[in-house]
Structure 1
Amino acid sequence: MRVPRIYQPSPLATQQTLALDDDGAAHIGRVLRMGEGEQICLFNGDGNDYLAEITSAGKKSVTVTLLSCQANPSESPLNLHLGQVISRGDRMDFTIQKSVELGVNTITPLFSERCGVKLNGERLEKKIQQWQKIAISACEQCGRSVVPQIRPAMDLQDWCAEPSAALKLNLHPRAAFGINGLGQEHKRIRLLIGPEGGLSANEIAMTENYHFTDVLLGPRVLRTETASLTAITALQLHLGDLG
């Protein structure tokens, strides 16, 4: 049986005894119904895995003792920042979950001219918190021990204008070359993915002003969630650790 992986947002050290937070205790105690003497793996985002043994377990509280610490080598050599225009329904949830599994380091939700989602204030803040929890759950599932950051939502132009030494990419059906045409020296990427209706002509011109490179994915028009995951996969194959 695979050892369950649980995120704990606190400092961790070997020989430490601690009570899991409410989410972790509920999953171990009520969902998995694990008991004293069984082992789980904890991580807190520092890149390490901490093997722990359950010392007491109930439906509402679980206490563990940390046995060992080991570096987790699952991070890609490619640092990838996804700027994703917010999509409708559960498409954004899906994009965040799968992009974390594929190795993205940072995700910034974006608003654009054709963005069909209207969020602001408390509703937007709750949505950001929900997306961060999805990212954590994806790390628990896929074996990562560094949790990607879901940044506060931004206007598309503000994100494009941020200073960055990374190569900036924008998908465009009339681009001169695809991702395989990028040089192998690039290890930091900012990838822009537009909304369901695509970027407007003004927005495309704006990305050119901020020195984005247009790249081609293929001859077919892809949905926004398909485009992001296809582009991330292609980048990891070409510049990262897939293949």
Structure 2
Amino acid sequence: MSCRLHLNQPLEAGTTVDLPANLAHYLHTVMRHAVGDTVILFNGHGGEYHAVIDSLSRKAASCRITAFENIDREMACRVHIVQGACRSEKIETVLQKGTELGAAGFHITRSERSSLKLDGSKLDARLDRWRKIVTEAAEQCGRTIVPTVHWHTRLSDIPCHGLGLTLHPHTAASWQQIRTEIRESSEITLAVGPEGGWSDADIATLGERGFRSIAFGPRILRTETAAPALLAAIQAVQEQ
């Protein structure tokens, strides 16, 4: 299987592209590739490009693009994840697994029970890290689109695209009752609370933003488990 690399630049068959130093190091030192080996490049705008390594050292590399393949591995339904801000390692799990399972984008947001506070240079550094995690997950799993990652300081600022759903263990509405709506939706936004869940005020705010509360089975899920579980369930329902 060819190594997949994301390049944030225009790509075109028949051209040669220079790789940044970090990708050259990855190919040369980590993956032990050599001149003449094939790789796959993608820029997040759909499809992927087959390429051959023309030159390679620890600090520099170039690839000749031989062909474009208009392949689509995205979910038929665009699913956006709103994740209540929690410990960073839990957010990273949601980003990685959510990307592998097909999420279109992530909105990390403060809420009443959020433990994570970010601003200024600390926020910039954390967003860079989160976006790197998403990019690497997209490279690994074969996606041709890289999900977006956004930070919100207020829950009232989050978007609700299409069908808006949030988990609440004590609501009367169940997953089974909305399966038809999920199957017929082209866009869904899932809102998952932080450790400790959403507060009553958070639930009210989400309702004002267009989210409906649902229960997802009889057990309480960890904050880092909920979004991946729901993504997998949505895909299963839509493929039936």
Q: Which band: TM-score by shorter chain? A: over 0.9
Pair 65,125 (structure 1): closer, same or farther in 2 beyond 3 Å: same
Do 2:108 and 2:151's aligned partners in 1 also have CA atoms closer than 8 Å?
A: yes
Give CA-to-partner distance per residue, 1:97-144, whole Å, 9 cap, x none: 000000000101100010011211110111011101100000010000
- Post-superposition shift, 1:165? 5.0
Give CA-to-partner distance per residue, 1:161-198, whole Å, 9 cap, x none: x4x55111010112333334322221111110111011
Do 1:112 and 1:199's aligned partners in 2 also have CA atoms closer than 8 Å?
A: yes
Alignment partners' CA distance in 2, 1:157 and 1:106: 18
- Partner AA of 1:43 in structure 2: F
Alignment partners' CA distance in 1, 2:59 and 2:161: 47
Q: Does 1:106 align with 2:102?
A: no
Higher mean C-alpha deviation, range 80-89 or range 202-211? 202-211
Alignment partners' CA distance in 2, 1:153 and 1:133: 19
- Post-superposition shift, 1:34? 0.8
Do 1:18 and 1:63's aligned partners in 2 also have CA atoms closer than 8 Å?
A: yes
- Partner AA of 1:111 in structure 2: R
RMSD across aligned positions (CA): 1.4
Do 1:99 and 1:229's aligned partners in 2 also have CA atoms closer than 8 Å?
A: yes
Q: Does 1:171 align with 2:170?
A: no
- Partner AA of 2:4 in structure 1: R
- Partner AA of 1:130 in structure 2: R
Do 2:81 and 2:191's aligned partners in 1 also have CA atoms closer than 8 Å?
A: yes
Q: Which residue of 1 aligns with 2:87?
A: 88
Q: Which residue of 1 aligns with 2:201?
A: 202
Q: May I ask how many residue pairs the two structures share in their alignment? A: 237
Do 2:80 and 2:161's aligned partners in 1 also have CA atoms closer than 8 Å?
A: no
Do 1:107 and 1:150's aligned partners in 2 also have CA atoms closer than 8 Å?
A: yes
Q: Does 1:51 align with 2:50?
A: yes
Q: Does 1:215 align with 2:214?
A: yes
Do 2:17 and 2:63's aligned partners in 1 also have CA atoms closer than 8 Å?
A: yes
Alignment partners' CA distance in 1, 2:161 and 2:106: 17
Give the match's secondary structure for 1:108.
strand
Higher mean C-alpha deviation, range 207-216 or range 40-49? 207-216
Alignment partners' CA distance in 2, 1:77 and 1:62: 36
Q: What are the within-5 Å matches in structure 2 for residues 88-237 of structure 1?
A: 88-159=87-158, 162=159, 164=160, 166-182=162-178, 183=181, 184-237=183-236
Do 1:22 and 1:60's aligned partners in 2 also have CA atoms closer than 8 Å?
A: yes
Q: Which runs of 5 or more structure 2 residues have no equivalent in the other structure? A: none
Give the match's secondary structure for 2:213.
strand
- Partner AA of 1:171 in structure 2: L
Do 1:41 and 1:51's aligned partners in 2 also have CA atoms closer than 8 Å?
A: yes
Do 1:85 and 1:115's aligned partners in 2 also have CA atoms closer than 8 Å?
A: yes
Alignment partners' CA distance in 2, 1:37 and 1:208: 56
Give the match's secondary structure for 2:191.
strand
Give the match's secondary structure for 1:125.
helix
Higher mean C-alpha deviation, range 149-158 or range 193-202? 149-158
Alignment partners' CA distance in 2, 1:225 and 1:171: 13
Q: Which runs of 5 or more structure 1 residues have no equivalent in the other structure? A: none
Alignment partners' CA distance in 2, 1:99 and 1:154: 21
